[in-house]
Amino acid sequence: MIEKGPARRRLAVAGIVAALLASAGIGYGVGRLQSAMSSAFETPSPADRSPAPTATPTQPTEPSTGAGGPPDGLPNEDTTGVPAGTKLTAYTGPETITENGTVIDGKTVDGALIIRAANVTVRNSIINGSITTDEDSTGFSFTIVDSEVRIGNNEGTGIGAVNFTVLRVEVTGGNRSMNCWKNCDIRDSYVHGQFRDETGVAHESGIRMGAGGKIIGNTIICDAPDVPPDAGCSASLTGYGDFAAVRDMEIRGNLIGATTGGFCAYGGSSGGKPFSDGARDIRFIDNIFERGPGGKCGFWGAITDFDSNAPGNIWEGNRWDDGTPLPPDN
């Protein structure tokens, strides 16, 4: 399945509606219709790849507010990132980390950290760039805690792709906040604020899931604006089966925020993808889906391409932010 860009898809819908109205003798131009629809909803586009290791979970509490950021008790800009009062100094070490056990603490890093070592730790720091292991790497790993990753006003993935742990981290900018390609553990973190792609090309997302990951207790939002012809959010949480089967993923206790994309989450079994038939052991448990201004989380709905009959797949306790139970097909 080839996803159309959000702007193009909304324009097509507007054209169909305008044609129907015209046949009924009601004049309403496509441009005016698209503008009206744009203010109420947004649409999807494709996505990302990613990794993961381990940390400690915190179940979010019941939301108490629905506007102005994540509800009370869920990760937000005040509960993630560098702790208040932390004094930062400029990082002057290498951007490619090759020494096992390296610790970066209380630093401002201007650039991309490439991890080619085991057990690297970044804490209480700001990265103006990204931190990644290569998707094909083995034996390299890192943990990032109480930090901020600011990808910037450009394409890029903030955190990925294999053997990593994320705890209380805020990620902004770029077109993909995190990519859990394989073996990741992402907890109590806040991803949002992806960039506006003026070229109209980038497909954006909050977190992309792959295999062997835990995504627990986070606030996950893709809110990048649509830019014609194809730029904008695919979903807050994506996973398609493009490059490998989505499998053994635990998605528990997150706020999956309303998005400018077509759906808030993809469930790993997108039709037409080369590895969709291998999706299995994908567990969506006790997540909250935000209705948003359109009432459906995304332009089309909350969740798509989740196969309840796939081996080991679980859909349990998921609900809208008003407490209404959410079925896997809506």
Domain map of the chain by residue range?
47-320
Phi and psi, residue 249, nearest 5°:
-120, 130
Counting residues of the chain whose pLDDT is more than 70, the rounded percentage is 78
How high is the pLDDT of residue 130? Answer: 98
User: At residue 57, does pLDDT exceed 90?
Assistant: no
Sequence letter at residue 80: T
Q: What confidence tier does 70 reach under pLDDT thresholds 50, 70, 90?
A: confident
For residue 215, the SS3 value is: strand
Counting residues of the chain whose pLDDT is more than 90, the rounded percentage is 77
CA distance 113 to 133: 9
Which of 16-20, 68-72, 208-212 holds the top average pLDDT?
208-212
Matching residue, tokens 């291998």: 278
More confident site: 267 or 2: 267
Q: What confidence tier does 12 reach under pLDDT thresholds 50, 70, 90?
A: very low
DSSP 298: S
Q: What is the mean pLDDT of residues 44-60?
A: 36
93 contacts: CB under 8 Å, gap ≥ 6: 102, 104
DSSP 254: -
How high is the pLDDT of residue 329? Answer: 76
Q: Which of 47-61, 274-288, 305-319 has the lowest mean pLDDT?
A: 47-61
User: pLDDT digit string (tens) for 208-224?
Assistant: 999 999 999 999 999 99
Q: Which of 176, 239, 252, 171 is nearest to 211 (CA)?
A: 239
Contact 290, 66 (CB under 8 A): yes
CA distance 263 to 330: 11
How high is the pLDDT of residue 68? Answer: 52
User: pLDDT digit string (tens) for 278-315?
Assistant: 999 999 999 999 999 999 999 999 999 999 999 999 99
CA distance 52 to 156: 18
Q: How far is CA 13 from the centre of its chain?
A: 25
DSSP 36: H
User: pLDDT digit string (tens) for 76-93?
Assistant: 999 999 999 999 999 999
CA distance 132 to 139: 13
Beta bridge partners of 205: 176, 235
User: At residue 61, does pLDDT exceed 80?
Assistant: no
